[in-house]
Amino acid sequence: MELLPHDDATNYTADRVQLEQAMLPDDIDYAKLDKLYWPKPAYTKGDLLVYMREIAPYMLPFLKNRALTVIRCPEGVEEASFFQKHLPNYAPDFIEHVPNEAGTENLILCNNLETLIWFSNHGALEYHVPFQTVATSTPEEIVFDLDPPDRNHFSLAVFAATLIKQMLDGLKLQSFVKLSGNKGLQIYIPIPTGSMTYDETAVFTQAIAWTLEQQYPDSFTTERLKKNRNNRLYIDYVQHGKDKTIIAPYSPRRTDDGTIAMPLFWDEINDTLHPAQFTIKNGVKRMQELGCPFATYHQVKEKQILTNLRAFI
């Protein structure tokens, strides 16, 4: 099927004009662009493709050379979903890949625009990546996952992020923050490739988590069992390990409201922030107005000074 058949001039709705102007790769067959992927706000598959095309320049650097796991919902967020992390045998040649450890499957690399749009066109809504590239076995960043029990307790994530930011500033570490697109916040500390092992980053994240838990035991917990968390914010330090994954910056989420994992500026982390503030419909405009909060991420990564961090652990 061609990109946008229009045998009939009445097909030129505003949405259709936007799709024609979206500059989607022409080596992919697009179909069912009006399918409702997010029924509640009435966002379509076409809306997803337009968003992914426009966000791709900002998102691709955070996927590069990392084994990709997608969550696919080809019938939309209210229908069945499944994970995919192995290259399917029907994948086109422009998708880069590497063998897994056992040599039994190929892991997917999303290193170009065509790959990103190909997966979007196949109903891939969420893009998850590990903390390492396929070139190494050490993490490229340290991440704190601040996960409140529900969106009504989002202020706990704002509080925790503020406290962690203070501690990181004290250690002269440059950090970045994003909305998870679901309930919480995630803090990134990029580090030079090969500069720390997972064992070392684990000591650090546990030390920070433990400090918060000690200071505010009514607000924060590192308790793994849900029944023991009692509406406290869970600081998930276990999540940061080899082969664990995290939602990529700018990825859409499989939520009712079409939210995205939105990078923010630190001064936006306050009580006016809402966890579902940014969606596939308003995320690009915000970027065009304010710029990418992670624009300096890879420069900072190379220059990050770990002296104080090492003294701390």
Work out how close the CB of 293 gets to DNA at its nearest, in angstroms, rounded to a whole number. Answer: 23
Work out how close the CB of 112 gets to DNA at its nearest, in angstroms, rounded to a whole number. Answer: 19
- In this complex, which beta carbon is closest to DNA, that of residue 42 or of residue 290? 42
Work out how close the CB of 243 gets to DNA at its nearest, in angstroms, rounded to a whole number. Answer: 5
- In this complex, which beta carbon is closest to DNA, that of residue 199 or of residue 256? 199
- In this complex, which beta carbon is closest to DNA, that of residue 238 or of residue 292? 238
Q: Which two tokens stand for residue 95?
A: 């998708």
Q: DSSP assignment of 284-301, as one string? A: HHHHHHH--TTTTHHHHH
The sheet carrying 220-221 orders its strands as: 220-221, 233-235, 141-147, 185-190, 176-179, 263-264
- In this complex, which beta carbon is closest to DNA, that of residue 193 or of residue 239? 239
- In this complex, which beta carbon is closest to DNA, that of residue 101 or of residue 289? 101
Q: DSSP assignment of 229-270, as one string? A: TTTPEEE--TTSSTT-EEEPTT-B-SSTT-BB--EE-GGG-S
Strands 233-235 and 220-221: parallel
- In this complex, which beta carbon is closest to DNA, that of residue 10 or of residue 89? 89
Work out how close the CB of 269 gets to DNA at its nearest, in angstroms, rounded to a whole number. Answer: 21
Work out how close the CB of 57 gets to DNA at its nearest, in angstroms, rounded to a whole number. Answer: 24
C-alpha span between 306 and 312 (Å, rounded): 10
C-alpha span between 247 and 255 (Å, rounded): 13
- In this complex, which beta carbon is closest to DNA, that of residue 6 or of residue 224? 224
Return phi, psi of residue 131, to 5°. Answer: -85, 0
C-alpha span between 275 and 266 (Å, rounded): 15
Q: Which two tokens stand for residue 201?
A: 């980053």
- Are 130 and 243 contacting, i.e. CB atoms less than 8 angstroms apart? yes
Work out how close the CB of 84 gets to DNA at its nearest, in angstroms, rounded to a whole number. Answer: 5
Sign of CA dihedral 24, 88, 261, 139: negative
Sign of CA dihedral 57, 136, 189, 231: positive
Work out how close the CB of 72 gets to DNA at its nearest, in angstroms, rounded to a whole number. Answer: 7
Work out how close the CB of 82 gets to DNA at its nearest, in angstroms, rounded to a whole number. Answer: 4
- In this complex, which beta carbon is closest to DNA, that of residue 255 or of residue 304? 255
Binding residues (CB under 7 A) for DNA: these are 29, 31-32, 35, 45, 69, 72, 74-75, 80, 82-86, 88-90, 100, 105, 121-123, 145, 147, 224-227, 234, 236, 238-239, 243
The C-alpha angle 235, 239, 240, rounded to 5 degrees, equals 100
- Are 279 and 285 contacting, i.e. CB atoms less than 8 angstroms apart? no
